[in-house]
Amino acid sequence: MTSKINLPTTVWGGCLILLLTASLEHANAYSHKVKTSNNTKIVWANPQIYWHAGAKSFPADSPFRASLVLANYWWNQTPARFTFGIAKWGDTSLKRGNGQSEIWFSNDQGALKGAPAICYTWMYSSGGRLWFKEADIIFDAGKLWSPHTWQYDLTPYRGPYRPLITTAIHEMGHALGLGHENRWYNVMGQDYTHVHTHYDRIKGYPGADATQGALFLYGKSNTYFTEDVAVTHWKYASASGEYSTHTPTVVYNQNMTVAGWDLLNGSPRFHVKRGGSYHAEFTYENNGYNSQYNVELAMYISTNTLITTSDQSFAGGYIPHLPAGAVWTLTLPVVIPTNLTDGMTYYLGVIFDHQGKISEFDGTNNASYLQIKIVP
């Protein structure tokens, strides 16, 4: 469960600062399918799924096809020993339970059971265990889906379109044996707000907890790159039935009340003063195989949503220990630089592992930001 803890004393901005509060989400919190009679996990004997993709759903040169390929790719980048791929494009004989794993869009509400997407799995019994033999994923063709990553069109940022890639990753989690999760920030919860956003683009990804679930089910792959740390401006909010819900991280005043804010481009923009003391909240993740120690980070002020080491750096520090599968929402003390202009919008950014000391399988998820407006 999410718990409030006090973290160890940490170097921050050249001084010893106690990181005030963190929402710590533990590793090994995933849920998975089991055979109830003997509590054995249900997995694929051959840890791979090669999809037969619907002809009308994923036509040639379609961005929907590209989104499906990308969902496969991000699962395949994790350190878990499981592979997703495509067996056939243009399948016209789509049917549940026909012996092949398929993925398509449909208006069949009986099959969808009121969900925006659903995964059916089929099993066989052998050696006293149950094994997967087929998985079928169906998306509701009546929903507004986007295969694109432009954040302002998408539901996490108050746009009309649900991002296809996040839901595809979620349903693929079911296909390999994971269940829903409502206790932490997790793609197996509310998937469309489990995103990394940088430079006006979102990226769906399996994330720390689902990766640990896949590792538990299938073990470690033999790939060279098995480590990854990440940061995002989303965090766990609450449980809604079987699903976790997520909400944007915030800027706190010095007394830990949320700073005043308005809405800009579908995200909160926090009102801060030059020279003022605040706490910037971000969620830090270890999506890799091993624990990470003394992971450095730096804070920046940028005039746009692309946070780089060329931006104005104004604070720095490190996280002493980030276990594999950990999801930590930290509030870090910052003093707003005095050289900013009243009335202007800036981006209070962070880069996790800003010196690139960790060899990662994903180097695109190390920066995030919060919108701020300088007020008198």
Query: What would the pLDDT profile of 302-342 be if each residue is shown by its tens digit?
Result: 999 999 999 999 999 999 999 999 999 999 999 999 999 99
**Is residue 117 included in any domain, yes or no?**
yes
Q: Please tell me whether residues 17 and 61 are part of one structural domain.
A: no
Q: Please tell me whether residues 23 and 107 are part of one structural domain.
A: no
Task: Tell me the pLDDT band of 37, cut-offs 50, 70 and 90.
Answer: confident
Q: Please tell me whether residues 52 and 23 are part of one structural domain.
A: no
Question: Over pLDDT 90: what percentage of the chain?
Answer: 89
pTM metric for this prediction: 0.93
Q: Please tell me whether residues 265 and 360 are part of one structural domain.
A: yes
**Is residue 199 included in any domain, yes or no?**
no
Please provide the average confidence, as pLDDT, over all residues in the chain: 92
Q: pLDDT digits over 46-64, tens only?
A: 999 999 999 999 999 999 9
**Is residue 217 included in any domain, yes or no?**
no
Q: Please tell me whether residues 18 and 60 are part of one structural domain.
A: no
Q: Please tell me whether residues 165 and 275 are part of one structural domain.
A: no
Q: Please tell me whether residues 24 and 74 are part of one structural domain.
A: no
Q: pLDDT digits over 117-143, tens only?
A: 999 999 999 999 999 999 999 999 999
Domain count, the chain: 2
Choose the final residue of a domain: 147, 177, 207: 177
**Is residue 196 included in any domain, yes or no?**
no
**Is residue 195 included in any domain, yes or no?**
no
B/e letters for 299-329, b = 16+ CB within 10 Å, e = fewer, are: bbbbeebebeeebeebbbbbbeebbbbbbbb
**SS3 assignment for the chain:** CCEEECCCEEEECCEEEECCCEEEECCCCCCECEECCCCEECEECCCEEEEEEECCCCCCCCHHHHHHHHHHHHHHCCCECCEEEEEEEEECCCCCCCCCCEEEEECCHHHHCCCCEEEEEEEEEECCEEEEEEEEEEEECCCCEECCCEHHHEHHHCCCEEEHHHHHHHHHHHHHCECCCCCCCCCCCCHHHCEEEECCEEEECCHHHHHHHHHHHHCECCCCCCECEEEECEEEEEEECCEEEEEECCEECCCCCECCEEEECCEEEEEECCCCEEEEEEEEEECCCCCEEEEEEEEEEECCCCCCCCCEEEEEEEEEEECCCCEEEEEEEEECCCCCCCCCEEEEEEEECCCCCCCECCCCCCEEEEEEEECC
Q: What is the token pair recorded at 164?
A: 């296809």
Cβ contact 195:201 at 8 Å: no
Q: pLDDT digits over 351-376, tens only?
A: 999 999 999 999 999 999 999 999 99
**Is residue 187 included in any domain, yes or no?**
no
Region 293-307: mean pLDDT is 98
Q: Please tell me whether residues 15 and 50 are part of one structural domain.
A: no
Q: Please tell me whether residues 158 and 257 are part of one structural domain.
A: no
- For residue 34, the model assigns a pLDDT of 81
Q: Which CATH number goes with the domain that contains 140?
A: 3.40.390
Residue 20 has pLDDT above 50, yes or no: no
- Going by C-beta distance under 8 Å and a sequence separation of 6 or more, which residues neighbour residue 332? 12, 19, 279, 280, 281, 282, 299, 315, 317
Q: Please tell me whether residues 254 and 117 are part of one structural domain.
A: no
Residue 17 has pLDDT above 50, yes or no: no
Q: Please tell me whether residues 236 and 367 are part of one structural domain.
A: yes
Q: Please tell me whether residues 122 and 238 are part of one structural domain.
A: no
CA distances from 236 to 92, 102, 219, 228 (A): 40, 32, 27, 20
Q: Which CATH number goes with the domain that contains 239?
A: 2.60.40.10
Choose the final residue of a domain: 134, 161, 177: 177
Choose the final residue of a domain: 115, 145, 177: 177
Containing domain of residue 239, as a range? 3-28+229-374
**Is residue 201 included in any domain, yes or no?**
no
**Is residue 183 included in any domain, yes or no?**
no
